[in-house]
Amino acid sequence: MTVDTNERPILDPAHQLPAHESATHRHRVLWIILGILLLLAIVGLLLWRHFKAEKKAPAPPPKINITTATATNGDIGVYLDEIGTVTPVYTDSITAEVTGLVVAVHFTEGQLVRKGDPLVDIDSRPYRANLLQAQGALERDQSLLAQAQMDLDRYRVAWARNAIQKQLLDDQEKIVLQDQGTVKNDEGTVQYDQIQVGFCDITAPISGRVGLRLVDPGNVVQSAGTVTLAVITQVQPITIIFTIPEDSLGSVEDRLRNKAKLTVDAWDRAAHNKIASGKLLTLDNQIDTTTGTVKARALFENKNDALFPNQFVNIRLLVNTLHDVTKVPASTIQQNGSASFVYIIQNNVAHLRPVITGVTEGGFTQVTGIGPGDIVANSNFDKLQENTAVTLANNAQSKPGNNAPANTPTNNAPTNNAPAKPAPAGNSGSGAK
């Protein structure tokens, strides 16, 4: 086969670039591509480093939500917490002084009686008969004495005239003395029988409440006192006997020497409800060496009969009242061994602040180391540390000196009727020092 040399070329030479221009164009495109690739590499490297830095940087810790309370300035009481027993001022067990038949019982069980009210009547007829015999003997001997006295007067006149012997006068004087002695003996017998008759009508020796009836009409009682007819306890006023540790005796005696009337509150067995309030009456005269305590007696008016004889009660004795102290809720105070501290909140940041605790009363504790108006944390202590950011659940403002956040305690500290003396810090509970 022969080649046709007359065929046209594929490209017109007029349309072809020169060799050097084609190379320049290719180099330019190559550099553009390389620049784009380099730019993409730089952007990728920057993005990679940015994401890596964000991954390494720790996220800021979330703020802790807490409740707060505010330290306040006020009064706080120094109390002794003890246990006591309600004890009547008087308790009388009525027994028979004479032997006889019970003819009447005038009281009802649980009745409040006054002094002199009739309780029990015993048959008095045998004793009235004895009294009548004694009165008859007395009248007879009084007449004999009068007769002997008249004879003595006659003998003295006769002796003055030398009409009788001196012996007769002397004998008559002795007869008069004998009759006088007989009359006195009769008078004693009459008084004794009158007392026996009086014993037949038994009356209340004190005012108080009568217990259960122990005898009935028709019973025979004996004078030996083996059978109790009734028991009366005085309930208005009434006392409570409790013990004080000997370590606290000095502070109590000091207040008593200053004529202070110390308030004593009686609470129920669970110490949830206050039953009555009274005043400390006196202390015993010796310390019980087996327990290291001294007995004290407090007096209560008991107008509503809230205190019952032999009732067990919890006692709170107000020994002193501390004035113008800083106090916070006891729940805000934390312990680190023997050291106490609180978290002060300033600008929504918690700061650990050591404090010295004192008296605790009514859920509040006396502290030194912070001032009135300081806001302290009252929850989430396990998450708090120095400089921990917090948010306040009770909308309290965490600025120093703010006096009006939620949970602000009110001042209800009791007071005594005598000027209070400052007590050292560290007194709380039942160990006032």
Encode burial over 151-183: b for 16+ CB neighbours within 10 A, e otherwise.
ebeebeeebeeeebeeeebeebeebbeebeebb
Q: How many CA atoms lie within 13 A of 256 on its CB side?
A: 14
For 238, 320, 390, the CA distances from 61, given in Å and listed in that order, are: 63, 48, 10
- Measured in residues, the chain has a length of 433
CA–CA separation, 303 vs 264, rounded Å? 16
What is the average pLDDT across 337-357? 90
For residue 134, pLDDT over 70 is answered with: yes
Question: Worst-scoring range by mean pLDDT, 237-241, 265-269, 391-395?
Answer: 391-395
Cβ–Cβ under 8 Å, residues 280 and 317? yes
- Give φ, ψ of 360 to 5 degrees: -115, 125
Supply the pLDDT for residue 405: 39
Token pair belonging to 161: 């005239």
Highest mean pLDDT among 117-131, 213-227, 359-373: 117-131
For 162, 317, 332, 341, 402, the CA distances from 74, given in Å and listed in that order, are: 104, 20, 17, 21, 16
pLDDT bracket for residue 139 (50, 70, 90):
very high
pTM: 0.64
Q: Is 359 exposed, middle or buried (0-12, 13-18, 19+ CB in 10 A)?
A: buried
Supply the pLDDT for residue 16: 52
What is the average pLDDT across 247-268? 90
CA–CA separation, 123 vs 121, rounded Å? 7
Percent of the chain with pLDDT over 70: 83
DSSP H/E element including 369: none
Model confidence pLDDT, tens digit, residues 19-62: 556 667 777 777 788 878 888 888 888 887 777 766 655 556 67
Residue ranges and CATH numbers for the domains of the chain are: 81-88+233-320 (2.40.30.170), 95-232 (2.40.50.100)
Question: Worst-scoring range by mean pLDDT, 34-48, 82-96, 146-160?
Answer: 34-48
What is the average pLDDT across 291-297? 93
What is the average pLDDT across 291-304? 93
Supply the pLDDT for residue 380: 85
Percent of the chain with pLDDT over 90: 51
DSSP notation for 268-330: -TTS-SEEEEEEEEEE-SS-BTTTTEEEEEEEE--TT--S-TT-EEEEEEEEEEEEEEEEEEG
CA 207-301-320 angle, 5° bins = 150
* More confident site: 403 or 12: 12
Supply the pLDDT for residue 106: 93
How does the average pLDDT of the chain come out, rounded?
A: 83
CA–CA separation, 375 vs 370, rounded Å? 10
Model confidence pLDDT, tens digit, residues 396-425: 544 444 433 334 444 444 544 443 333 333
* More confident site: 418 or 284: 284
Supply the pLDDT for residue 14: 53
Residue appearing with tokens 């509150």: 265
Cβ–Cβ under 8 Å, residues 104 and 121? yes
Supply the pLDDT for residue 22: 66
Reduced to 3 states (helix: H, G, I; strand: E, B; else coil), residue 167 is: helix
Q: How many CA atoms lie within 13 A of 347 on its CB side?
A: 1
What is the average pLDDT across 194-223? 92
DSSP notation for 350-368: EEEEEEEEEEEETTEEEEE
Supply the pLDDT for residue 1: 44
- Give φ, ψ of 266 to 5 degrees: -105, 125
Token pair belonging to 349: 């940041």
Supply the pLDDT for residue 150: 94
For residue 229, pLDDT over 80 is answered with: yes
DSSP notation for 214-271: ---TT-EE-TT--SEEEEEE--SSEEEEEEEEGGGHHHHHHHHHTT---EEEEE-TTS
For residue 66, pLDDT over 60 is answered with: yes
CA–CA separation, 104 vs 432, rounded Å? 56
Supply the pLDDT for residue 175: 94
Supply the pLDDT for residue 411: 43
Supply the pLDDT for residue 28: 78
Residue appearing with tokens 């019973």: 219
Question: Worst-scoring range by mean pLDDT, 18-32, 66-80, 248-262, 274-288?
Answer: 18-32
